[in-house]
């Protein structure tokens, strides 16, 4: 992340002063300098005593802001940005932003324990809260409040009603995380190498690609469910066959 972007041949060919950059991205000088210090944005291009910026800087700043808007911590943003090649073009960075928003889970809601139990439809013990935490549904925050993924809470409560042990919930979450990350990385690569070039050649904008991704999401979710159900059925058949033998 410390590599500098390519320097245009002449001043004015894509170069901006710090003041021009702040105006373009609507961000303070102090914030941009902080991002640079943390390695989230490349350092300015030096020409004598002056520093200049390019569209690459602006694209990376917009990406950082997008990540912040979705609740990423500074450390998580650093890890995310570190995976982006230093020579990535503004278009590639825009693709990261395009793919990011539609695929992120809903933002959790902060509520008290009483509000959480009202949403769950019943009281929740400490062990059950630990299980919901392991499933990535409920997270305790300071002052007795919780961040809750409301869309997934009914599923979590249903698992509690079935008596799912905490260690099983932890193991399941590890499986979901590992395979979910692999699916996300492979789908991102698919869009980067096959979908984005096709739409770019057709003159589509990142906003138009975002609309495509949003429409593709429910199809992909259904495909994952179908593949999972098929795999489970096949595993059951193989298990029955082995036991019969």
pLDDT digits (tens, 9 = 90+) for 148-188: 988 789 988 988 998 888 888 888 878 877 787 778 778 77
Mean pLDDT estimate for the chain: 81
pLDDT digits (tens, 9 = 90+) for 33-62: 999 999 999 999 988 888 999 989 999 999
pLDDT for 2 equals 41
Q: SS3 sequence, 197-228? A: HHHHHCCCCHHHHHHHHHHHHHHHHHHHHHHH
Neighbours of 133 (CB within 10 A): 18
Asked if residues 183 and 224 have their Cβ atoms less than 8 Å apart, the reply is yes
pLDDT digits (tens, 9 = 90+) for 59-77: 999 989 888 877 777 888 8
Q: Could you tell me the two tokens for 23?
A: 């105006």
Closest CA to 111 of 83, 86, 80, 132: 132
pLDDT for 106 equals 59
């Amino acid at each position: 992340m410390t590599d500098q972007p390519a320097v245009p041949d002449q001043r004015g060919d894509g170069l901006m002063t710090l003041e021009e950059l702040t105006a373009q991205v609507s961000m303070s000088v102090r914030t941009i300098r902080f991002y640079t210090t943390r390695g989230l944005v490349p350092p300015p291009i030096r020409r004598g005593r002056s520093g200049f910026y390019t569209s690459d800087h602006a694209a990376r700043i917009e990406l950082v802001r997008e990540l912040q808007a979705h609740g990423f911590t500074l450390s998580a943003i650093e890890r995310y940005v570190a995976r982006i090649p230093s020579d990535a073009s503004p278009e590639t960075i825009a693709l990261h932003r395009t793919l990011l928003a539609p695929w992120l889970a809903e933002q959790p809601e902060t509520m008290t324990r009483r509000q959480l139990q009202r949403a769950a439809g019943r009281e929740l013990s400490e062990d059950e809260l630990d299980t919901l935490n392991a499933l990535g549904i409920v997270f305790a925050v300071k002052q007795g409040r919780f961040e809750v993924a409301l869309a997934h809470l009914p599923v979590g409560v249903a698992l509690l009603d079935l008596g799912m042990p905490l260690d099983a919930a932890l193991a399941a979450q590890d499986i979901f995380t590992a395979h979910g990350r692999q699916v996300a990385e492979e789908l991102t690569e698919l869009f980067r190498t096959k979908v984005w070039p096709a739409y770019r050649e057709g003159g589509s904008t990142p906003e138009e690609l975002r609309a495509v991704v949003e429409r593709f999401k429910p199809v992909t979710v259904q495909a994952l469910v179908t593949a999972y159900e098929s795999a489970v059925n096949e595993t059951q058949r193989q298990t029955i066959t082995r036991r019969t033998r």
